[in-house]
Structure formats: structure tokens, C-alpha cells
Amino acid sequence: MARDKDLVSSQAGLAAAVAVESGPGLGEGTEPVRARSYWEQVWIRFRRDKVAMASGFFIIFLVLTAIFGGPLAAHLLGHGPNDIFFSGVNDDLLPVGPWTHVQTPEGGTTLFILGADGTLGRDEFLRLLYGARVSLEVAVLSTMGVMIIGITMGVVAGYFRGWIDAVISRIIEVTMAFPALLFIIALAATIGQRLNNITFGVFGKGVVTLILVFTVFGWFYPARIVRSSVLSLREKEFVEAARMVGASDLRIMRSHVLPHLVAPIVVVSTLIVAQYILAEAGLSFLGLGVKLPTASWGVLLAAAPEFYTSVPWLMLWPGLAVLLTTLAFNLLGDGLRDSFDPRAQH
């Protein structure tokens, strides 16, 4: 076997390596070698990463829960996420705890699995499930918008340099310096209502507003990171080689530069997903975004500190949801990064 290893290590070739691995005797019982495509190799590497796979399954589970979980649970429990129950609040006017049966106005009882959400006596579990949809819509779509614009601007600025880079960099700086919070307050006070009514027939009221606001004020962050990466990548030999064989700028950016940006793109994306879940609560507070009584994780988290000395678990449920989601995206992102670029150092 030591000799076989020597054969492999002395670069005897792929066929020889396969022959060694597949068993004794060249040509006996070996299957024909099929070259794997780039994406196949990515998938194989990704599949080997059990943590990334688990994260992926968790995210799929989360998406399915966001779409189907809420309505199914509401049907089984017999009440909705916005139904107010007088008896969901105890004599001290605090929400009841987990696994409490509360009285319905019709005289029966219903179960609050995670207790009530606050002084309104609504079901925290259902609001968590329904909130998943809003939070994921806002976080994922905002991230996509931010990354598309940020990557485009960053790549163009870093690749072309010169006056294009100067203009884009100034736009980035203006966006960074812009008093976004004041603008958002002004927006809420003026055309906020009209903006919130834009749904495209698919989204809830206020979701599109949030996505727009986050995208407009968030793209500069990945743009700067991508720009600095591209500034160094454009000097590499493979870019020069591509130019020499006549590849257009667009082809070079798309096929040679962009693949090397997967790692930072994935890392930044996973970081800002969680950021936008929390930021969504802040904008709802200012009058933009999801309309009351629609639940979202951010809104649930924003309301929880009111009760942190008396009912601290109210912070736990949406906090855990955000934590696990962020962790899943981060681990998935790590796995994707390693799958795309296995030479990258851990």
C-alpha cells in the first residue's frame, strides 16, 4: 500500500489514483471515470459538511413553518394570532405564562403554548409563527436587494477605477453620511401611509416599504467590501491572462472576479440578515413598516423589554428564533463558502 500511495503522490494521474482507490489490480472491476462538473463538486463538498446541511434543513423548515405553520397551528388551536383574550392577562395585568388554558369569549378554553404576548392577551406562539413570515420576507429580500446593488457598484468601482470609482465612492460616502433615521421619520410623517399600502398583491402592508428603505440605505456596506476586494483581484495574473486572450470586461468581472468574491459576499449576507430582522422592529416603531397588529419577530422583541423583570421569557422566544435563524444562516454561509472555495483557510 505504501507503494500505491507513492504512485498517487508522484502525480501518476487521475486514472491511476482512481484505480488505486478502487481496489487491487488495474482494470479489474473499475467503473468508468466521469468528470464531475463544478457544481457537482460544490454539492459533494457541501454534502460532506454536516453542520451546513443541518443549517440548510433548518432554514427549509423555517420557510415551511413561515408559510404553513401559522395557519395550521391557528386551525388546530382554534384562534388567530391577533385575537385578544381578556383572560390572557392575570390579576397583576401581566401576560399568562407558557402552557396556560385561557377562557374564550364564548365560554370555552383554548391553549396558549408559549403564553400570552403582553397586556393584550394574544397567543405568543401563533404570533411567533406568523411573525416568521414577515421577518424572513423583510430580511431575505432586503439582503438580496442590498447585495445586488452593493456587489454591482462595488465590482464596477473596483474594476474600472478612475473617475467611475471616484463617482461611485462619493455616492457611497453620501449614502453613508445621510441621516437615514431623520429621513425615515420624515417619510413616515409624509408619504408613509401611501408607501405602506404597496403590496404587489403578495406581501403584507409595510413589507415593501421596509425592503425599499433597507435596500436604499444599506447597499453601501457590501459595496465597500466588494470594492476593496476587487481592487486587489484585478491585479492578479488570471485577470491579466483573461484580458490577453480577449475576454471582455463584463466577462472578466462575471467569470473571473465574481467567483472570488463568494466568500465575502456570503459572510456579509449572513451578517446582515439578522440585522434586518431587528431593524424592522425599529422602523415599525417610527410608523413605517408592518402595521399593527401584524406580528413580526422584531415587533415581538421590541415589546418584550417592557416585561423583562416580570415576564422575562417574552424576550426568550423571539430572541431564540432570531438567534437560531442567524446561526443557521451563518453556518450555511460558512459551508457554502467552503464548498465554493475549498482552498480557503479556516
State the nearest-atom distance from the C-beta of 93 to another protein, in Å.
5
- Which listed residue (193, 209, 212, 281) binds another protein by CB under 8 A? 193
Q: Is 306 in the site for another protein (CB under 8 A)?
A: yes
Exposure of 309 by Cβ count < 10 A (0-12 exposed, 13-18 middle, 19+ buried)? exposed
Q: Which of 248/310 has CB closer to another protein?
A: 310
Cis ω before 293 (30° cut-off from 0): yes
Interaction between residue 192 and another protein (CB under 8 A): yes
Q: Does 84 bind another protein (CB under 8 A)?
A: yes
**Alpha carbons 17 and 8: distance in angstroms, whole number:** 5
Considering only residues 244 through 303, tell me which ones interact with another protein, judged by CB under 8 A. 284-287, 291-293
Determine if 182 is a binding residue for another protein (CB under 8 A): no
For 11, list phi and psi in degrees, rounded to 5: 60, 50
Site for another protein in 313-332 (CB under 8 A): 315-316, 319-320, 323-324, 327, 331
Long-range contacts of 305-311 (CB under 8 A, 24+ apart): 306/118, 307/94, 307/95, 307/118, 310/92, 310/94, 311/94, 311/95, 311/97, 311/115
Q: Is 334 in the site for another protein (CB under 8 A)?
A: yes
- Smallest distance from the beta carbon of 195 to another protein, in angstroms? 12
Task: Give the torsion through C-alpha atoms of 279, 283, 288, 291, to 10 deg.
Answer: 80
Q: Are 102 and 87 in contact, with CB atoms under 8 Å apart? A: yes
Q: Is 191 in the site for another protein (CB under 8 A)?
A: no
**Which spans in 245-261 are helix H?**
249-251
* List of residues contacting another protein (CB under 8 A): 50-51, 82, 84, 86, 89, 91-94, 118-120, 185, 188-189, 192-193, 205, 284-287, 291-293, 305-312, 315-316, 319-320, 323-324, 327, 331, 334, 346
